[in-house]
A and B are shown apart, each in its own frame.
Chain A
């Protein structure tokens, strides 16, 4: 049990540090209370009256979750490493099977974009590849959904609508 004495000392030191911080700040901080306007997010401007919709993207949570899963995998590696020599090849094979199965889920994560931090790509065709039909359609002034303006930020615009005007659209 002696080896846990440093931890105990550390805990005591941590508590002391936290207590001293409180004491110190209460002695050093200005006593005057700020007014309500001072503690508002902005000192001037319109007071927000609705909650912002969400503070974090779900992705943060997902990453924390994934961290725990692989953390647990590592936890299993530790006892194996300690008895590595006694287990020999058998242990190596078993831990490789275990790690291999879990590694597959890593592949899955990458493929599903769960680990990519950039904003999700919504690539849209700025311009359909030109065919003679589409050119004729454009010149003749038919209402073409794609020619009506720059692409809007909606992934729901059916590409099929554009494909209908030109046969050379098969992706």
Chain B
């Protein structure tokens, strides 16, 4: 039953692609099996992130999800995105998460018994169920692709995938690409601004801040005399 449903999804995805004017081959058995495994990894990982009690386990579950997504990208023949997914997300970003977890204390467990808002959990489950059902119904009932010309060009025709991406980035999406640099500058400035600490205010609760050790960034005293 589940296999049938996922196969259906594969077919509908591929059909969606084909309707936009791209030639696709019928999904082979290998494709279906790979899809099922990757999709299962994505889902199990996602559920695990939410359910894992230990934050490090949750972060590792996230790696599983991100890796599954990378495999799904490969199935869509998008090699470059798959590689980026592994390098940036499964690699760097999760390492950053682990840094934060270590920074705050690994052994700190969240008290999930305590509910600040009464009844929010059943409500959340209900909303998620409704949303998922809505998306599934939309996918079955509604028309997805409509044959309008696509902007990016075929992702999986003949030729190198990265070259197509490069062409898109430097022609159609040139302006968004250049504007992204502003986003990176914001990220750098933001990282430094947020890592500052209040300079050596006498705070009885935090002996670390008062002693003025090497943690202060951007607040170093000017060298005088």
Residues of A in contact with B (beta carbons under 8 Å apart) = 1, 4, 51, 53-62, 64-69, 71-73, 75-76, 78-80, 82-83, 86-87, 90-91, 94, 97-98, 101-102, 104-106, 108-109, 112-114, 118-125, 128-129, 153-156, 159, 171
Contact = CB atoms under 8 A, between A and B. Distances in A.
User: Among A79, A82, A90, A129, which residue has the most Cβ atoms of chain B within 10 A?
Assistant: A79
A169 to B, nearest CB: 8
Given A64-B95, A86-B167, A71 B88 contact: yes
Contacts of A78: 80, 162
A92 B106 CA distance: 46
A72 B216 CA distance: 26
Contact of A56 (B99, B181, B192): B99
Interface in B139-184: 160, 162-163, 165-167, 169-170, 174, 177-178, 180-182, 184
Interface string B64-107: 00000000001000001000100110001101100110110100
Contacts of B214: 57, 59, 118-120
Nearest to B167: A83
Contacts of A114: 191-192, 195, 217-218
A11 to B, nearest CB: 9
Interface of A is mostly: helix
B184 A69 contact: yes
B220 interface: yes
Interface string B207-224: 110011111111011011
Interface residues on B, range: 35 or more
Interface of B: 30, 74, 80, 84, 87-88, 92-93, 95-96, 99-100, 102-103, 105, 160, 162-163, 165-167, 169-170, 174, 177-178, 180-182, 184-185, 187-189, 191-192, 195, 197, 199-200, 206-208, 211-218, 220-221, 223-225
Contacts of A102: 181, 184-185, 188
Chain B interface secondary structure, helix, strand, loop or mixed?
helix
Contact of A171 (B74, B166, B199, B224): B224
B102 A155 contact: no
A75 B84 contact: yes
